[in-house]
């Protein structure tokens, strides 16, 4: 068995980060060798690929990291450490060879290979990437029902910036308060209030 681990939603200013692990039998790996990392696929294609390839997944596991946890580690400049802990938590659910797409090349640590860009190199990690992205997209869709359409949640998205500008004072739990975008907006609002 081989396990791939990847995350979705590390960079957005809104919403959680989702980490996914998928386990595939080694003899089934050729059946998923055409899987591409989630960033290369539009949402509808991600759903289709996941549905088609799910039959080859022996087991899967998810971890959802909410903005409050992300903020706590970001303030200490330890977001990579949080991600590492969650990756290890998921990896230790499996006694298999694990390949994790990680922001740093940490190499082999026990039964886990931490490799930057692993989602582009190993289809099992690409499949984990797709699962993480599909789950995060679904959660964002649910958040749209609760909070209104704020776009993708990424700082460069005009809808996201407008949402933050209008609702920043409400201290919503989906906002990553430690992000520079939020800090800049708060500073700007304080200046406007002062003037």
Strand order in the sheet with 112-115: 57-65, 17-24, 2-8, 97-101, 112-115, 107-109
Span 60-76, average pLDDT: 95
- What is the spatial distance between Cα 23 and Cα 58, in angstroms, rounded to a whole number? 5
Which superfamily is assigned to 148-194 in CATH? Ribonuclease hii. Domain 2 (1.10.10.460)
How much is the mean pLDDT over the chain?
A: 90
Span 19-27, average pLDDT: 96
pLDDT at position 50 over 80: yes
Q: What is the pLDDT of residues 124-145, one digit of tens each?
A: 999 999 999 999 999 999 999 9
The full set of domain ranges for the chain reads 2-145, 148-194
Q: What is the pLDDT of residues 105-129, one digit of tens each?
A: 787 778 888 999 999 999 999 999 9
> Which pair of structure tokens corresponds to residue 119?
């989602």
Rounded to a whole number, what is the distance in angstroms from the first to the last CA of the chain?
Answer: 62
CB atoms within 10 A of CB 171: 8
* For the chain, counts of helices (H) and of strands (E): 7, 6
Q: For the domain 2-145, what is the CATH code?
A: 3.30.420.10
pLDDT at position 6 over 50: yes
pLDDT value, residue 112: 86
Split at pLDDT 50, 70, 90, the class of 65 is: very high
Split at pLDDT 50, 70, 90, the class of 195 is: very low
- What is the spatial distance between Cα 185 and Cα 195, in angstroms, rounded to a whole number? 15
> Which pair of structure tokens corresponds to residue 104?
């740093």
pLDDT value, residue 189: 59
Split at pLDDT 50, 70, 90, the class of 188 is: low
Span 150-156, average pLDDT: 92
């Amino acid at each position: 068995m081989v396990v791939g681990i990847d995350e979705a939603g590390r960079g957005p200013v809104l919403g959680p980060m989702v980490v996914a692990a998928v386990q595939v039998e080694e003899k089934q790996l050729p059946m998923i060798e055409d899987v591409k990392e989630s960033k290369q696929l539009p949402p509808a294609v991600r759903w289709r690929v996941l549905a088609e390839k799910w039959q080859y997944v022996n087991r899967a596991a998810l971890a959802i990291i909410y903005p409050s946890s992300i903020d706590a580690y970001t303030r200490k400049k330890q977001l990579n450490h949080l991600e590492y802990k969650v990756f290890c938590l998921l990896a230790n659910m499996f006694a298999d060879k694990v390949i994790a797409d990680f922001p740093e090349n940490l190499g082999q640590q026990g039964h886990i290979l931490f490799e930057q860009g692993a989602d582009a190199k190993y289809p099992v990690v690409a499949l984990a990437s797709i699962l993480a992205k599909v789950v995060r997209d679904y959660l964002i869709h649910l958040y749209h029902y609760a909070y209104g359409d704020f776009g993708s949640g990424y700082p460069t998205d005009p809808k996201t910036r407008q949402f933050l500008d209008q609702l920043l004072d409400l201290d919503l739990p989906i906002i990553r308060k430690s992000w520079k975008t939020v800090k800049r907006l708060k500073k700007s609002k304080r200046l406007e209030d002062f003037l």
